[in-house]
Amino acid sequence: MKRLILLLSIFALWLNTPARAQQSLGIAAVVNDEIISAFDLESRLNMVLYSSSRNPTPQEKERLIPQILRTLIDDKLKLQEAKKRNIKVSQSQINKAIAKIEKSNRLAKGTLLDVLKKNGIARSAFIEQIKAEIAWNKLANRVLGTRIRVSEEEINDRLAEFQKNKDKPEHRVSEIFLPVDSLEQEKKVLTLANRLHQQLQKGVSFNSLARSFSRGTTANTGGKLGWIRQGVLGNKLQQALDTMSPGRFSKPIRADNGFYFLFLHERRLPSDKKRDVADAGTRVTLQQLFFPLSEKATLVERSSQLNLAKTMASTVASCSDMDKAGKELGSQMSGKLGTMTMPKLPRHIRDAISNLPVNKASKPIKSTGGILVLMVCHRDKAKTKAAPQPKIDDRIRVKRILLNERLYAAARRFLRDLRRSAFIDIRL
């Protein structure tokens, strides 16, 4: 039988201990016959705080601890089960995972562990988290993957759904998923969801919270789902997406299997997707005129700057003219923007310049802090064709999607059963 002892004084006990040596000797929890030390807990907390780039209050830290400890317990259960089934994680697999994290966070190769060490995050704690996820993925595929089946009828149904929504908008989305495995958990998970929502409102990175708290398959990538076609997500999640503006996150959404947060990066129509594919390798050299506007600008001031932008845009016929106009304007943000690939530009900028002829000023573009007028000085079209996109009726691709969905659900149930049957003593 599982034994669960939860002492709410955990935070005060280990965080206020004056010496690190005393912290490292404390036991945060016992999972079957293995311990999670207070130092492990501190390292994981530091990891969360570092990735969120904030300095939370002691009260906010305290509220994070129960969920962080639960994550550590789950990692321990995953590693124990993998060991029991003789599933091993090689050093090369760990190195690949670290390299992937470095790349996604724009860190120089081989620098991640040093960065973590400087921020009080033990190498052993970080490696343990990586090993747990790799081992769990291998275990899920080996043990559960062979039991999962998808029928031809189910593939046909999903294809029909895709076909029905092929002309509807797509959304680039990130998620945080908090599962609810039983009615008894509902209140606790909702409390956590509300706390995470408060953190998001205070400016904590969605990406960092997803990495630390999401229990979905996308947690290791900061919750990134990528481009989602209309109808792929359930009705409740799709309804929330339809009402969201790009750059915004949702409130907690109760779905059948738990609570979700969604972050909408951008929205595009099928025509936008075709243009994105055509522009995938295109490089442009840009020049801009910037007309600043404060947040408190009056309607008259906004109208005046907009008219000025229109007038100046109509008088320039080359990037040399743009340069002179920028100097006359006296705006520090006017001038050369350099050369970049189209996919790296924000959506509203791509839309404005995608079909804009070279040496022609764009229409005024409303942007953060002011109004832009852009000009393409040089455009270098991709010399190679973009890779062909998977067809909507690709049965193999759809089958893989369905199998992954079921594998994730089965793995979550398996972990829940491991948790229920384990001896877990939370006791600092």
CA 203 from chain centre, in angstroms, equals: 15
CATH of 10-145+419-426, one of 3.30.1370.60, 1.10.4030.10, 1.10.510.10, 3.40.50.300: 1.10.4030.10
Alpha-carbon gap, residue 102 to 111, rounded angstroms: 8
Which carries the bigger pLDDT value, residue 334 or residue 185? 334
What confidence category does residue 72 fall into, taking pLDDT thresholds of 50, 70 and 90?
Answer: very high
What confidence category does residue 4 fall into, taking pLDDT thresholds of 50, 70 and 90?
Answer: very low
| Other beta carbons within 10 Å of 245 | 7
Alpha-carbon gap, residue 80 to 180, rounded angstroms: 23
In the chain, what are the domain boundaries? 10-145+419-426, 167-269, 281-380
The residue to which tokens 């907690």 are assigned? 252
Tell whether pTM > 0.75.
no
- Yes or no: domain 167-269 corresponds to CATH 3.10.50.40: yes
Side chain identity at 242, as an amino acid letter? D
Alpha-carbon gap, residue 137 to 169, rounded angstroms: 32
What confidence category does residue 104 fall into, taking pLDDT thresholds of 50, 70 and 90?
Answer: confident
Under CATH, what is the fold of the domain 281-380?
Answer: Chitinase A; domain 3 (3.10.50)
Nearest Cα to 378, choosing from 359, 365, 398, 392?
359
| Other beta carbons within 10 Å of 349 | 21
What confidence category does residue 7 fall into, taking pLDDT thresholds of 50, 70 and 90?
Answer: very low
